């Protein structure tokens, strides 16, 4: 499969040599690279696939083709020096169209702070970032305090990259390896902001105010990769 890894501080990408190639690009390589956790599990799953993992391919119309996958892909956002670091960014061809997709790997890890927690007494930088996110996502105001902030900037990353690569749509897909589907309700609550009715292992598409098409999905990963 065409999994590429980014050389440090450049826009040059080189082929991956296997799952271990992904570790160096984690924010905290030693702490995050553990058996049974999302980073290592996701790397083994994607590297073992002949193209897209089956559960990701099922999010799209046939035929599907993975054009390129970029592990730990950073997308700059306004209002600070910290980018949105996406577990996988994938360019996907499906049914004669193309998609820029951000993939968020999960096992039992939560989606991080809520909007209420992250945006409490916000700095000027956070205000700038929130304005950008709301504009991209088509929100007229800051979303409810129980919405997970991570889901906002991962989805915004997909929309930014869809514009950059001029794809037909953007997608944000949670690739979950949790047998209990932990945190799925947080994803449902987020998707409801767009009027999307999401179900496990199905995708839902909406048209944003900007005219961009956004696909949201929750894909259940093969639990065998939790042992890798």
Entry pTM: 0.95
Mean per-residue pLDDT for 104-123?
Answer: 97
213-228: buried (b, 16+ CB within 10 Å) or exposed (e) per residue? bbbbbbbbbeeebbee
Write out pLDDT tens, residues 215-228: 999 999 999 999 99
What integer pLDDT is reported at residue 2 of this predicted model? 67
For residue 189, with 0-12 CB atoms within 10 Å meaning exposed, 13-18 middle and 19 or more buried, which class applies? middle
121-146: buried (b, 16+ CB within 10 Å) or exposed (e) per residue? eeeeebeebbebbbebbbbeebbeee
Q: Which residues pair with 13 in a beta bridge?
A: 6
User: What is the rounded average pLDDT for all residues in the chain?
Assistant: 95
Write out pLDDT tens, residues 144-163: 999 999 999 999 999 999 99
What integer pLDDT is reported at residue 11 of this predicted model? 77
Q: Measure the CA–CA gap between 59 and 52, rounded to whole angstroms.
A: 11
Write out pLDDT tens, residues 78-101: 997 899 999 999 999 999 999 999
Write down how long the chain is.
Answer: 228
Write out pLDDT tens, residues 16-67: 999 999 999 999 999 999 999 999 999 999 999 999 999 999 999 999 999 9
Q: Is there a contact between 171 and 216 (Cβ–Cβ < 8 Å)?
A: yes
* Structural tokens at position 139: 């929100």
Q: Measure the CA–CA gap between 181 and 228, rounded to whole angstroms.
A: 20
Q: Which residues pair with 93 in a beta bridge?
A: 65, 98
Give the containing element (helix H, strand E) for 173: strand 169-176
Write out pLDDT tens, residues 126-148: 999 999 999 999 999 999 999 99
Residue 8 pLDDT level (bands cut at 50, 70, 90): low
Q: Measure the CA–CA gap between 80 and 202, rounded to whole angstroms.
A: 35
Instruction: Give CA separation, 207 vs 97, 164, 172, 216, in Å.
Output: 16, 18, 14, 11
């Amino acid at each position: 499969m065409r999994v590429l890894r980014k050389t440090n501080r450049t826009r040059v990408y080189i082929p991956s040599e296997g799952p271990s190639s992904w570790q160096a690009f984690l924010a905290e390589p030693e702490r995050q690279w553990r058996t049974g956790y999302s980073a290592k599990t996701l790397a083994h799953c994607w590297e073992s696939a002949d193209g897209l993992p089956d559960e990701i391919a099922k999010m799209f119309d046939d035929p599907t083709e993975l054009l390129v996958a970029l592990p730990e892909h950073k997308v700059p956002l306004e209002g600070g020096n910290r980018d949105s670091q996406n577990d996988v960014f994938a360019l996907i061809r499906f049914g004669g169209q193309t998609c820029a997709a951000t993939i968020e790997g999960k096992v039992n890890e939560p989606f991080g702070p809520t909007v209420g927690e992250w945006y409490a007494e916000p700095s000027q930088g956070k205000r700038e970032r929130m304005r950008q996110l709301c504009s991209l996502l088509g929100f007229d105001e800051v979303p409810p305090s129980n919405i997970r902030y991570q889901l906002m900037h991962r989805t915004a990353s997909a929309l930014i990259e869809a514009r950059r690569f001029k794809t037909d749509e953007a997608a944000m897909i949670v690739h979950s390896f949790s047998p209990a589907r932990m945190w799925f309700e947080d994803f449902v609550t987020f998707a409801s902001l767009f009027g999307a009715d999401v179900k496990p292992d199905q995708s839902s598409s909406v048209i944003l105010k900007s005219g961009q098409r956004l696909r949201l999905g929750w894909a259940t990963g093969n639990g065998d990769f939790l042992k890798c």
